[in-house]
Amino acid sequence: MKLVIGTAADAPVPVYDFQKKEITERLAGVSSPTWIEWESKSKHLYVANEVENGFVSVFEWDSNKFTKVDEFSVQGHSPTSLCVLENGAVITANYGSSSISKKHKKNKEIPAEGHEKPHVWYHEGKSAHPERQRKSHPHQVLKHEHLVFSVDLGLDRIAIFDAETTSTDPIAELKVPSGYGPRHAVVHKEFPVLYVICELSNRVCVFDTNTFECIQDISILPANVTLEHDPQFPQPPSAAEIAVVYDGPFLVASTRYLGNYDTDTLWASSLDPHTGRIIEGTDSHTDLQGRCPRHFMFNEGATLLAVAMQDEDLVKVYKREPKTMKLDLLFTIPTPKPTCAVFIEDEALQAK
């Protein structure tokens, strides 16, 4: 099993090997590679380079190593997320340019001069926060079956697109309350439920994807925490990542307290196994003993958890006790400004 680590530093992407217990590769030709997606069918690793003139780097797993096979511009600034569609198209959320772009990948070769440019569509508007919501800021694009969810922190909305068409018009829009700042989302694999973590409000909004109705709106902060503003950062504690653990089941989210408190936490709450709704009053908070859990990911069986602690220059790897949220720290991986950590299972690395 591998753990591929994104970083906000202008540095190669480290690849940690669990069997050898060390970093075995550093993938070069990237710049601020903050978001990574693994596509197991093609055995391609897609890296979003969060720079002003954003681009995507593509690495292929072959002969027990990664080799760079493609690179293309997203025609936008600061891509913070990407997803890969079944037809090979790559969609990026370009936070800095209020845009989403779609690139149809023709082949494995690095594109020659004049290769097909991405299709780009822009979003206009603003919301309540005087600093963070002056304009549209798409923060994540998430695919689910034939749909793509665009989570826009600046517009307080999640736009839903049909990935099987060429239309750039959303088929629906989900709105969170003004000033919430939606950051990331995850879809339940069994129920028509979308969970949205809102960065500015530190709340989870739960949507029914059949009716597009918000059915729950729940705080992820401990009861004794108030939303005091940090003078060095014009917002209260800042929620970051969200995931579903089906062994439980649990909804899990991370919060960065931005200097107000001694440590940052991982919030978890039980989910109703029959509806996917959050069971209120079942919250727990895990002290992460460090700063800025920008991203986390469980492995396939949810026996391991990797947390990218950006301000600690560390990725922490935990062992999880089955059917609980009890975590035991196994080891750390020193990494400059880690922004995401992606597990790749052994079976996904087998020869084609």
pLDDT tens digit string along 47-59? 999 999 999 999 9
Task: Give the chain's largest Cα–Cα span.
Answer: 57
Provide the pLDDT for residue 108.
46
Of the two residues 351 and 331, the one the predictor is more confident about is 331
Residue with tokens 């079944």: 86
119 with 78: CB under 8 angstroms? Answer: no
Angle at 317 between CA 312 and CA 319, to 5 degrees: 145
185 with 140: CB under 8 angstroms? Answer: yes
Q: Please enumerate, as own/partner, the contacts of 230-236 that have beta carbons within 8 Å and a separation of 24 or more.
A: 230/258, 230/259, 230/260, 232/258, 232/259, 233/258, 233/259, 234/130, 234/131, 234/132, 235/129, 235/131, 235/132, 235/199, 235/200, 236/200, 236/202
Of the two residues 230 and 222, the one the predictor is more confident about is 222
Euclidean distance between CA atoms 13 and 66, whole angstroms: 11
> For the whole model, what pTM was predicted?
0.94
Start-to-end CA distance of the chain, whole Å, equals 17
Query: Which of 178, 270, 265, 197 has its CA nearest to residue 225?
Result: 265
Query: Which of 95, 101, 103, 93 has its CA nearest to residue 70?
Result: 103
Query: Which of 121, 35, 37 has its CA nearest to residue 85?
Result: 37
271 with 277: CB under 8 angstroms? Answer: yes
Give the mean pLDDT of 219-235: 70
Please state which CATH number belongs to domain 123-287. Answer: 2.130.10.10
- Tell me which of 76-80, 144-148, 162-166 is least confident: 162-166
Q: For 262-275, what is each residue's pLDDT tens digit?
A: 668 999 999 999 99
The tokens describing 62, both together, are: 């072959």
pLDDT of 286 above 70: yes
Starting at the edge strand found earlier in the chain, the sheet holding 2-7 runs 22-27, 13-17, 2-7, 338-344
Give bridge partners of residue 71 from the DSSP assignment. Answer: 57
Q: How confident is the model at residue 165 (pLDDT cuts 50, 70, 90)?
A: confident
Give the three-state DSSP class for 347.
helix
pLDDT of 114 above 50: no
- Tell me which of 162-171, 225-234, 303-312 is least confident: 225-234
